[in-house]
Amino acid sequence: MYGTEKHIALDGATGFLGRNILGDFLKDGHVERLYLLSRNPKKWPANLEKWRNHPKITLVEADIEDPQVIKDPKRRRDLQHIITEFHHLTASTKFHERERDETFKMNYDGTRNVLRFVQGARRLKRFVHVSTLYVNNVLQSPIAYEDKFPPQVGLVEPYHESKYLAEKAVRGSGLPWTILRPGVFSGDSFDGDSGLDSRTGYGITLGILHAALKAHPELGGTSKEATERVLHYLDWRKKNKNIHPEEFFDVDFRLDGYDHATKNVMSMDDIANQTKAIIGSEIDTIGKTYHIANNNPLTARQWIDSICYALRFKGVKFGGSLKLEEWQLGKMPDDPKRPWTKEEKLRRNRAETMADGLFNQHYSRGYFVRPDAIYDTTNTDSAIRAYNERFPDDQLAKVPMTVPLCSNIMDQWVENELHLVNDKMVKDRETRKENALAGRRH
Domain of 15? 6-189+265-295+373-400
CATH of the domain at 177: 3.40.50.720
**Dihedral of alpha carbons 72, 76, 82, 87, sign:** positive
Residue 194 pLDDT? 65
The reply to whether 260 falls in a domain is: no
Q: Are strands 85-88 and 6-11 parallel, antiparallel or unpaired?
A: parallel
The reply to whether 165 falls in a domain is: yes
Instruction: Give the H/E segment covering residue 85.
Output: strand 85-88
Q: Is the pLDDT of residue 87 over 90?
A: yes
Which tens digits make up the pLDDT trace of 295-339? 889 999 999 999 999 999 999 888 755 444 443 333 444 444 455
CA distance 89 to 15: 8
Q: Is the pLDDT of residue 138 over 70?
A: no
CA distance 133 to 404: 24
Residue 362 pLDDT? 39
pLDDT class of 95 with cuts at 50, 70, 90: confident
The whole-chain average pLDDT of the chain stands at: 83
The reply to whether 61 falls in a domain is: yes
Q: Which of 110, 123, 122, 121 is nearest to 170 (CA)?
A: 110
Per the model's pLDDT, the better-predicted residue between 312 and 158 turns out to be: 312
Torsion angle, CA of 411/206/189/234, rounded to 10 degrees? -30
- Residue 42 burial (CB count, 10 A): 7
Residue 107 pLDDT? 95
Determine the average pLDDT of the residues in 384-408: 93
Which residue(s) pair with 57 in the sheet? 34
pLDDT class of 413 with cuts at 50, 70, 90: confident
Q: Is the pLDDT of residue 379 over 50?
A: yes
The reply to whether 310 falls in a domain is: no
Max mean pLDDT range (47-51, 176-180, 346-350):
176-180
CA distance 202 to 220: 19
Determine the average pLDDT of the residues in 425-439: 69
Let me know: does 141 contact 94? Beta carbons within 8 Å.
no
pLDDT over 90 percentage in the chain:
48
CA distance 36 to 14: 9
The reply to whether 33 falls in a domain is: yes
Query: What total of structural domains would you count in the chain?
Result: 1
Residue 327 pLDDT? 39
CA distance 212 to 219: 8
Max mean pLDDT range (223-232, 241-250, 316-325):
241-250
pLDDT class of 214 with cuts at 50, 70, 90: confident
Q: Helix or strand or coil: residue 91?
A: coil
In one letter, which amino acid is 260? H
CA distance 344 to 326: 15
Determine the average pLDDT of the residues in 70-81: 95
Q: Is the pLDDT of residue 216 over 70?
A: yes
Residue 347 pLDDT? 47
The reply to whether 249 falls in a domain is: no
Q: Helix or strand or coil: residue 330?
A: coil
Q: Which of 242, 300, 277 is nearest to 399 (CA)?
A: 277
Q: Is the pLDDT of residue 143 over 80?
A: yes
Residue 109 pLDDT? 97
The reply to whether 129 falls in a domain is: yes
> Among 29-43, 78-92, 100-114, which is the least confidently predicted range?
29-43
pTM: 0.85
Let me know: does 137 contact 373? Beta carbons within 8 Å.
yes
Residue 21 pLDDT? 85
Which tens digits make up the pLDDT trace of 13-41? 888 788 888 888 998 888 999 999 998 88
Residue 354 pLDDT? 47
Residue 1 pLDDT? 43
Residue 56 pLDDT? 94
Q: Is the pLDDT of residue 358 over 80?
A: no
Q: Is the pLDDT of residue 383 over 80?
A: yes
The reply to whether 360 falls in a domain is: no
